[in-house]
Chain A
Amino acid sequence: MTAAARAGAEEEVQARLPDVGSLAAALDDVDYLADPGLATALFLAVRLPQPLLLEGEPGVGKTEAAKALARVLDTPLYRLQCFEGIDAAEALYEWNHPRQLLGIRLAEARGAPLDEDDLFGPEYLLRRPLLQAIEHPGPRPAVLLLDEIDRADAEFEAFTFEVLAEAAVTVPELGTIRAAHPPVVVLTSNRTRDLHDALTRRCLYHWIDYPSPDRVAEIVRRRVPGSAEPLAVDAASAVTRLRSLDMVKPPGIAEVIDWVSALSILGVTRLDPPAVEATWGSVLKNRDDQELARTRGAAWLAAEG
């Protein structure tokens, strides 16, 4: 429905993102390195437009992808972190009840007449991310990130999709609010439960793989500006080596960034065994994993790749 109801993206967006290459370059400019697959996925999500479901290991940059896309489009990012029991009041809107009560008391004290409409006006409405994204005035659509949609209940998932398909919200007291610029929707999932068919059917799908060591090194150089060039390469290949072990929590890109930041602060420029010994904790955050890696030794990890 989403795709059928909206024939293509708006002209301004089309002009900004004429093809996949220009999106990849624009993402690069905001320091997000997207491989051709992810760039194609984001491009289609914006231009078709159709919601995009991103999956991948924790820490491969699913959330970052949505943030970078918002920066490229130069629009706000509205993020809804899903959790069990999330409902419309937390996702869509809620009336500001304390303020309403205060309004009643104030009107009483002043002896001013008070209409019910006064209490249910826009100024008493608390806007939650879904409504904010729909109300976004433009000129370009906002980016709406539904993070970890699998944590919400199935009913909430269905409700969200209805709202997005219509790109309109009805607040009984105010009437229907229709989106002038339907948001670009990015969903992420950790696959703790099977998502509903209706959702997967409407979404584009992309699995983000853990990137190659070269690319990790490049990402680290962008994210930790002060770090020494060889250090990023060393750390990236060391983490690739760690990932070959049977880890409880294999270190991701976030851990490489943490690690290189820590090493830079310590003034390290090349990864050597003493530096590894001092910083186990910034790359391996589980005791079993640390023990496993220690049996291989710091020298193994620091070995020139």
Chain B
Amino acid sequence: MVQPPIAPGPLAVGLTTALHRAGLPTTPERAAGLARALQLVPPRDRAALYWTCRIALLTDRAQLPVFDAVFSAVFDGMLDPADSRGDPTAPPSIGSEPRTRPVPPDARPSSPGTAEGTPGSGGGDDGADGVEREVLLAAASTEERLRSTSFADLTAEELGTVRDLVRRLVLSTPERRSRRTRPSRRAGDRLDLRRTVRAAQRTGGDPARLVHAHRRTQPRRLVLLCDVSGSMEAYTRVYLTLLQGAVAGARAEAFVFSTRLTRLTRQLSLRDPDQALARAGATASDWAGGTRLAHGVGRLVADHGRRGLARGAVVVVLSDGWAQDDPDDVADAMRRLRRLAHRIVWVNPRRAAPGYAPLVGGMAAALPYCDAFVSGHSLAALEQVVAAVRESAPSRGSPRAREG
């Protein structure tokens, strides 16, 4: 038995505030709901209190660890420890965990062609008439040069320009027939009885005009899986922008992995790209760690893909394939993904290097399951990615991967 009777209102507000501080999206509305729930289920012991709070406050399974930790921190001091039945092993301060995203080393040596300075991002128009043309030309050539510069060799300013350009890329997937229909007069389609009768009412109940139902088409789902491990760091800076644009524009699903898999769709769906990237950075805590490719792909399939997320989808994997896992595990995971997905596009920035051959264990194991293998190391190369995503017919047949 709890010694002091706790009033539901203050209890609900107190717990909700603590959860909010720990980063859970709780609202006053939910607190009010909890207060009402507590009147129905009096918190006789810790278990009753725990379940009522959890059911009333959570909206997602992913919030469980934080909730458990906060709940335990708030209540375990107050209650009789004899009837404690939660897991006391939960880390007490999950909310305060340091989650700084490592700052990418932007101070890279500029590439040989940077002598003319920064790209003409500002101030071209207010210059004197004589130099305006030159500035424009310089800007054009800068963009031209940036197109073919590898993302790894970009300076901080160039990176900003490139990100703006990447944001303009539109990823669109091939279409498939959807379950929804639209009216059509073509006789080949199924007869739409409902619409036919509606139309017949105008002609005195005589179905003079037959209305057919034509299946609409819908773009296939796009799933992006980006490797954010240490070896990919130079490219991740740009790829995240690509992910963000795809999520906001093409309703894609975005995941990142290095040692574990994180779904970033919700974080990246904000309109403001900088804010979205900041939120994404705060969510995935294993930036620039090791690469567990098989684990990342495997979790994607097991936790999301099999439930329908990857079924018939175009899956784009952005990774250099340098994995710590056993190549056989990578092959297993890729085979499972292959069975679900419509197409798999693999983007490997290292492919552009002269003399590159996909010999690294993970990459060699994954390649047989990919429909397209492109480099995507520069702006120009990203356009190949766009083309690969749009391509409709999967190259079913023996040589699955095309060098193209």
Name A's B-contacting residues (CB within 8 A).
3, 19-20, 36-37, 40-41, 43-44, 47-48, 50, 53, 55, 58, 83-87, 89, 94-95, 97-98, 100-101, 104, 150-151, 190-194, 200-201, 203-207, 246, 248-249, 288
Contacts and interface: CB of A to CB of B under 8 A. Distances in A.
Interface of B: 27, 29-30, 33, 36-37, 40-41, 47-48, 51-52, 54-56, 58-61, 64, 178-180, 193-194, 196-197, 200, 205, 207, 253, 265-266, 298, 302, 304, 306-309, 332, 336
Contacts of B51: 36-37, 40-41
A207 B194 CA distance: 40
Contacts of A58: 307
Nearest to B178: A85
Contacts of B29: 201
Contact of A20 (B48, B61, B265): B48
B309 A40 contact: no
Contacts of B64: 207
Contact of B59 (A48, A89, A101, A200): A200
Contacts of B179: 83-86
A89 B194 contact: yes
Nearest to A45: B55
A191 B308 CA distance: 8
Nearest to A104: B205
Contacts of A97: 193-194, 196-197
Given A3-B33, A97-B197, A37 B40 contact: no
Contact of A201 (B59, B196, B207, B265): B59
Contacts of A288: 332, 336
B266 A40 contact: no
A44 B205 contact: no
Contacts of A83: 179
B229 to A, nearest CB: 21
A60 B266 CA distance: 27
Given A43-B41, A48-B40, A191-B307, A246 B298 contact: yes
A269 B306 CA distance: 35
B194 A48 contact: no
A249 B36 CA distance: 40
B305 to A, nearest CB: 9
B55 A205 contact: yes
A191 to B, nearest CB: 6
A294 B79 CA distance: 49
A100 to B, nearest CB: 6
A100 B200 CA distance: 11
B37 A84 contact: no
B67 to A, nearest CB: 11
Contacts of A41: 51, 55
B177 to A, nearest CB: 10
Contacts of B30: 201
Contacts of A194: 265-266
A50 B178 contact: no
Given A201-B29, A207-B64, A44 B307 contact: no
B90 to A, nearest CB: 15
Contacts of A150: 308
B205 A101 contact: yes
A49 B14 CA distance: 24
B60 A100 contact: no
B33 A192 contact: no
Contact of A98 (B40, B193, B308, B336): B193
Contact of A36 (B27, B47, B178): B47
Given A37-B51, A85-B180, A192-B309, A94 B60 contact: no
Given A97-B193, A98-B193, A205-B60, A47 B55 contact: no
A200 B33 contact: no
Contacts of B298: 246
Contacts of A36: 47-48, 51
A183 B302 CA distance: 34
Contact of B197 (A100, A192, A246): A100
A75 B367 CA distance: 55
Nearest to A103: B205
A295 B37 CA distance: 50
Contacts of B56: 44, 204
Contacts of A151: 308
A85 B332 CA distance: 34
B401 to A, nearest CB: 22
B16 to A, nearest CB: 14
Contacts of A201: 27, 29-30, 59
Given A192-B307, A194-B266, A48 B41 contact: no
Contacts of B59: 53, 200-201, 203, 205
B58 A248 contact: no
A86 B179 CA distance: 8
Nearest to A151: B308
A248 B308 CA distance: 14
B40 to A, nearest CB: 5
21 contacts: A3-B33, A36-B47, A36-B51, A37-B55, A43-B40, A48-B33, A50-B33, A85-B179, A87-B180, A101-B197, A101-B200, A101-B205, A191-B309, A192-B304, A201-B30, A203-B59, A204-B56, A205-B55, A206-B54, A206-B55, A207-B58
